[in-house]
Chain A
């Protein structure tokens, strides 16, 4: 398909979004990520039944932690798409980059010494 998506996205592969823990996502912010999003399978189509539903709850919980930290909860998101939806993947990447760009750099990154990734995705 040769679709392109923003180069500032760092992809972190996991076997299932059910593997994505709150701490994993928090660590991305700690390292200076401006935002993160989880790309899970379509709801109802998880190979492990509920991995993507659990991931959604964890992202929601992460948002409460971010709010407590005074970091915009919109910097974290979860999307559902199938592995056949390349087009949608690129579209989401653009969308999320737009949201994060509008919010500006993460308040953490300003203080991180070395250059850190602008975004991480699982």
Chain B
């Protein structure tokens, strides 16, 4: 899932400073699961904003609304009947959702309340961890299912580096060395021969280096 973090109250207060009537827009997908921008978090932020304003003797009117998704126009359109009643939309979706809400309503002000951080997993309730960087050309079959792009601090393709000590990465004592994980996994699977293969220089054009990416399935399109 996409994992994000809510911005600090201080930062959000600064963003909404000029406005007295805002639409606080949550999303029920990943950002709900990572407890950053779902219905609950919308409620908490709305309450915090109202308290902060009241404290300064000022008012703020907030409409709380949580969409099924903010990355599909069918859902975003649900705010069309009332979006213009608000001076700004504060989106609690991931960056994609915030972008798309802004794209769909180019005349309206759309502000981000979330810092979108990574593609990851839930390790346990309340703990999330990065697993993939969307590089566009997956090599997990060579690495025992451990991603060197996302999980090695240096994104090394033929690791480990000299900073690997007792299974821990040099950048942080709480971070496993991805290459130690890869070697351990391959060993357990009896596939150490994979480790012997040199992974060639990666073509990063499938990643961000190729500019914004797009995926088209002609067979699914109905507009052309």
Partners in one complex: yes
Chain A residues near B (Cβ < 8 Å) = 21-23, 26-27, 29-30, 65, 68-71, 107-108, 110-112
The complex places the Cα of A23 from the Cα of B38 at a distance, in Å, of 13
* Contact, CB under 8 Å: B47 / A108: no
User: Considering only CB atoms, which chain B residue lies closest to A68 in the complex?
Assistant: B9
* Contact, CB under 8 Å: A69 / B40: no
Residue-by-residue, is B45-74 near A (CB-CB < 8 Å gives 1, otherwise 0)? Answer: 001101110110100000000000000000
- Contact among B10, B43, B54 for A68, CB-based, below 8 A: B10
The complex places the Cα of A70 from the Cα of B53 at a distance, in Å, of 12
* Contact, CB under 8 Å: B55 / A65: no
The complex places the Cα of A71 from the Cα of B47 at a distance, in Å, of 14
* Contact, CB under 8 Å: B52 / A23: no
* Contact, CB under 8 Å: B8 / A26: no
Known: A22-B44, A23-B43, A26-B44. A69 touches B52 (CB 8 A): yes
Chain A residues lying within 8 Å of B9, measured Cβ to Cβ, are 65, 68-69
* Contact, CB under 8 Å: A23 / B40: yes
* Contact, CB under 8 Å: B8 / A30: no
Known: A23-B40, A23-B43, A23-B47. A111 touches B8 (CB 8 A): no
* Contact, CB under 8 Å: B51 / A71: yes
The complex places the Cα of A55 from the Cα of B57 at a distance, in Å, of 31
Chain B residues near A (Cβ < 8 Å) = 8-10, 40, 43-44, 47-48, 50-52, 54-55, 57
* Contact, CB under 8 Å: A108 / B51: yes
Nearest CB in chain B: distance from A74 CB, A: 16
- Contact among B43, B44, B57 for A111, CB-based, below 8 A: B57
The complex places the Cα of A68 from the Cα of B10 at a distance, in Å, of 7
Task: List 18 A–B pairs whose Cβ atoms lie within 8 Å, in order of A's numbering.
Answer: A23-B40, A23-B43, A26-B44, A26-B48, A26-B51, A29-B47, A30-B47, A30-B51, A30-B54, A65-B9, A65-B44, A65-B48, A69-B9, A69-B55, A70-B55, A71-B51, A107-B54, A111-B57
User: Considering only CB atoms, which chain B residue lies closest to A22 in the complex?
Assistant: B44
The complex places the Cα of A69 from the Cα of B50 at a distance, in Å, of 10
Nearest CB in chain B: distance from A121 CB, A: 19
Nearest CB in chain B: distance from A72 CB, A: 12
In the complex, given contacts A23-B44, A30-B51, what are 11 additional A-B residue pairs having Cβ atoms less than 8 angstroms apart? A23-B43, A29-B47, A29-B51, A65-B9, A65-B48, A68-B9, A70-B55, A107-B55, A108-B54, A110-B57, A111-B54
The complex places the Cα of A23 from the Cα of B26 at a distance, in Å, of 16
The complex places the Cα of A26 from the Cα of B8 at a distance, in Å, of 16
User: Considering only CB atoms, which chain B residue lies closest to A109 in the complex?
Assistant: B54
Chain A residues lying within 8 Å of B43, measured Cβ to Cβ, are 23
The complex places the Cα of A27 from the Cα of B40 at a distance, in Å, of 12
- Which has the most chain A C-beta neighbours within 10 Å: B40, B43, B52, B54? B54
The complex places the Cα of A22 from the Cα of B47 at a distance, in Å, of 11
The complex places the Cα of A22 from the Cα of B57 at a distance, in Å, of 24
Chain A residues lying within 8 Å of B47, measured Cβ to Cβ, are 23, 26-27, 29-30
Chain B residues lying within 8 Å of A22, measured Cβ to Cβ, are 44
Chain B residues lying within 8 Å of A111, measured Cβ to Cβ, are 54-55, 57
